[in-house]
Structure 1
Amino acid sequence: MTAVAAGPLAGAAHPRPRHWLARPLATDRDTVTAQARRLLDTHHSGTAGPVRCLTARERSATFTVGDPPQAILKWHADEAAYLGERLAYDLLATDRLLPRLRGSSDEARTLLVDYLPAPADLTNLDIFDDLISLVVRVHTASARWEPAMHAAMAQWRVDTLLAEDPPWVDDPPAWRRTLNLIAAAHGPTHVPVGNLDLATDHVRRQPDGQLALVDVETLRPDVTGVPDVVTLAYLAAHAHHTRPGPWVRARYLHHAARAGATWTDRNLLAALTGFAAATGLTSLHGLDD
């Protein structure tokens, strides 16, 4: 069992096992940039322009393509992580919450998406509220899926997840209480998509002015959206918003109700504390104030 070392979810059990990455990528920027150029030529041949490395980590690398940049190339070391991010584009397609997907390659484990240069100013209260609305749309996405998508994701329905405790939780009864609260708010056939990698540099403006998330590699249908509410409170505190925990909780409830969920303040607090107990999360960042 591993735990998140720092940040908004410090202490929480990590669903990925220790030593999960079997074949890490190179972290030398010149090396991975040369490899990225070959991947583009082979698997995304219609894309031309200079390639510049943005990040070079063992688990993934990202590059801008073009001058000025027109696209982002994301290269995964792990097939499951690639497939998870690729699936996110299908799960969230109807809501346009992500940059436009230009192409992907299962063989190369790469995604090519539109480059969005404009970061969102999360110190602006209205823009942060837009981010909370976006996160709620992720959490309620399964309510807007077509029947075929529902059928494909049936194993991740909350009533199915209740049948077996995941190995990474510390307190299974607390985990089941959290899932039951989610089922009460969204219905038993809800698929609890969540676990977003929310960060200030991952929230960008689309050409029409709407917000988009530019990194969804951590999205999962079995961790729930509860940790995202915790991360929102953490980000709101770092953006110096007044009473960030209660404000995020109130705005999340507002947007969730507009999206058809039936959370109450009491049940949302219980889900947050239940998730903390189940996973070892050390702080709710004021959400319980």
Structure 2
Amino acid sequence: MNAILAGPLAGAARVRPDGWLTTPLTTDPALAEAQARSLIYRHHPAAPGPVRCLTARYRTATFALGTPARQLLKRHGDEAAYLGEVLAYQLLDGEGVLPELHSASDTSLTLVVNFLDEKADIDRKDGFEELIAAVAAIHTAPSRWPQHTSEAMHSWRLPATGNVPAPAWVREPTEWRELLQLTAAAHGDDHVPLGHLDLKADHCRRQPDGRLALIDAETLRPDLTGLPDLITLAYLGQVEGRSLPPRWVRQAYRRHTNDLGAQWSDASLVRALTAFATATGLASLHSVDQ
């Protein structure tokens, strides 16, 4: 799994050591901004100006484009993260859960999307349920894919992933296989198990039409099921001043996924959660199985 320093999935992921990225980006905002102008000129000529650096980190950098900002340039230092984010935009096209993608460049590892400045309030119960509904839409998206996308993702279907050895980071392969079997029973044998979103309050924004969107999808993977995200939702419901019962989070998730075609029973969802925890060495389910 991708590295997580601490928090909802502690124990189920390894921390990458410092220096793992061979070609880090500059952390100097002025230099990052100058580099972004050059990249936009060469790879995103239709993007608006001026360019303003928002964040300059060794792994990613973001830039507001236009005054007022209308679009956002995101630059990756890690090719795998860039490809993962572009894949997410392709797999979730039409779901309305991500900002609109305007352009992407495999050469510069950059993409331009709509700039969403308004944060979605997930502290309220109805706002948090909007987040749950967006996550449910992502997890069930494969059932609505056009034929060409389904064919392209054929090798990621559950029968294919279930017939190969468990990933090296899985501690209990038997529990992992049961997790995949429970997921197939809920979503169907042709399901591609999308999951592992980078869910946090700051990534929940409002689109111009008022819908909630997630502004970071680079960690989405087609082989982890949606269970890590449900666990993270339960965690988010109990931190930063929130007091949303984990059982309510689980029931809301089950209702939204089933409304979109899944067939989770409460018992099978709880069993899948415990199988994920046992298989991966997860430190805590944050009471979402209670």
What TM-score bracket applies, with the shorter chain setting the length? Answer: over 0.9
Structure 2 unmatched runs, 5+: none
Deviations 1:166-207 (A, max 9, x none): 122122111111111101100111001111011101111111
* DSSP-derived class of the 2:102 partner: strand
Q: TM-score by structure 1 length?
A: 0.94
Partner of 2:190: 189
Change (3 A) 1:3 1:100: closer
Q: Per the alignment, in what secondary structure is the counterpart of residue 140 of structure 1? A: helix
Return the letter of the residue paired with 1:255. Answer: H
Pick which of 11-20 and 26-35 moved more: 11-20
Q: For each residue in 1:49-85, what CA deviation from the matched residue of structure 2 results, as whole angstroms up to 9, or x when unmatched?
A: 2222222222211111112111110111122221111
Give yes or no for the alignment of 1:271 onto 2:262.
no
Q: Which residue of 2 aligns with 1:121?
A: 121
Aligned length: 289
Equivalent residues in 2 for 1:147-162, closer than 5 Å:
147-162=147-162
TM-score for both structures, normalised by structure 2:
0.94
Q: Distance in 1 between matches of 2:273 and 2:148?
A: 31
**Distance in 2 between the 1:74 and 1:2 partners?**
19
Is 2:8 the counterpart of 1:8?
Answer: yes
Deviates more, 1:15-24 or 1:117-126: 15-24
Contact between 1:157 and 1:192, CA under 8 Å: does it hold in 2?
A: yes
Shift of 1:15: 10
1: distance between equivalents of 2:94 and 2:69? Answer: 26
Percent of residue pairs bearing the same amino acid type? 53
CA gap of 1:93–1:113, structure 2 versus 1, over 3 A, is: same
Q: 1:122, 1:239 within 8 Å by CA — same for their partners in 2?
A: no
Q: Which residue of 2 aligns with 1:198?
A: 199
Counterpart Cα distance in 1 of 2:2 and 2:176: 17
Instruction: State the partner residue of 2:59.
Output: 59
CA distance in 2, matches of 1:41, 1:69: 18
Range with bigger deviation, 234-243 or 135-144: 234-243
SS in 2 for 1:54: strand
Summarize deviations over 1:114-147 as a string: whole Å, max 9, x none: 0011100011111111110110000000000011
Q: Could you tell me how far 1:22 is from its partner in structure 2?
A: 2.6
Pairs within 5 Å for 1:125-136? 125-136=125-136
- Listed as ranges, the gaps of 5+ residues in structure 1 are none
Shift of 1:232: 0.6
